[in-house]
């Protein structure tokens, strides 16, 4: 009896057409489920990287405030520190956009001149950190990080006018990253 079973297995030549079609259908179903899930993971990773870059800018601004009087606001006032100034003064390494673009820095594209010294003039056209000193001397930080594809800030914060463009340090997360929709003429 064992010999017959072994002989029957040896005569098996391969998969039938129905079995092959079943395997192809199963693989198609798995691919249909997996591909959108992978796309979502990639998008979330890029949002997390953008949020991490914003937090890195805030941490660099904290170091600048501690070590440079020009970056320290007087009580009750704000100072705006550009990403370009943080990079040029060694407070942060050049920040890379996860979409392989460039974050918007002050000045024209390719401008290598010195960045503007931190001042009380509101910055909304390029990436910067807003440092506000309370009357008690404590500091609050908000960030405005712009790239051609996604941003933090740009009207997603609280307040009106220039204040609306900055997201507070405690609110920087994946949800605070907005996709930038290119405008067409």
Return per-residue pLDDT of the chain as tens, 185 residues.
677 767 766 666 677 889 889 999 999 999 998 888 887 888 889 999 999 999 999 999 999 999 888 888 888 888 888 888 898 889 999 888 888 878 877 754 444 445 567 766 666 678 888 999 988 889 999 998 888 888 888 643 344 444 457 888 888 888 888 877 655 44
- Rounded-to-integer distance, Cα 69 and Cα 72, Å: 5
Indicate whether 50 belongs to any domain.
yes
Q: How far is CA 145 from CA 17, 58, 107, in A?
A: 56, 11, 15
The 3-state DSSP class for residue 39 equals: helix
pLDDT for the residue numbered 161? 45
Indicate whether 103 belongs to any domain.
yes
Number of domains the chain is built from = 1
> What would the two tokens of residue 184 be?
């067409």
| Domain of 137, in residue numbers | 2-179
Q: Considering only CA atoms, which of 100, 104, 102 is closest in space to residue 46?
A: 100
Pairing of strands 78-82, 128-133: antiparallel
Indicate whether 185 belongs to any domain.
no
CA angle 42–43–49, rounded 5-degree value: 90
Indicate whether 151 belongs to any domain.
yes
Q: What single DSSP character describes residue 8?
A: H
Look up the pTM and report it: 0.73
Contact 100, 42 (CB under 8 A): no
Indicate whether 184 belongs to any domain.
no
> What would the two tokens of residue 176 be?
């605070």
Indicate whether 44 belongs to any domain.
yes
């Amino acid at each position: 009896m064992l010999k017959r079973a072994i002989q029957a297995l040896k005569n098996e030549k391969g998969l039938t057409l129905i079995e092959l079609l079943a395997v192809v259908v199963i693989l198609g179903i798995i691919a249909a489920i997996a591909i959108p899930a992978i796309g979502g993971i990639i998008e979330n990773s890029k949002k997390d990287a953008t949020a991490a870059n914003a937090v890195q800018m805030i941490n660099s601004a904290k170091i600048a405030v501690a070590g440079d009087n020009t970056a320290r606001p007087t009580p009750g006032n704000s100072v705006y520190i550009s990403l370009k100034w943080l990079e040029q003064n060694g407070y942060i390494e050049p920040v890379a956009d996860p979409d392989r673009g460039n974050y918007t820095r002050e000045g024209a594209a390719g401008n290598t001149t010195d960045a503007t010294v931190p001042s009380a003039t509101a910055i909304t056209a390029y990436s910067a950190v807003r440092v506000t000193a309370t009357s008690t001397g404590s500091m609050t930080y908000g960030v405005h990080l712009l790239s051609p594809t996604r941003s933090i800030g740009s009207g997603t914060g609280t307040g009106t006018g220039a204040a609306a463009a900055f997201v507070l340090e405690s609110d920087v997360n994946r949800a605070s990253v907005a996709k930038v929709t290119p405008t067409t003429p």
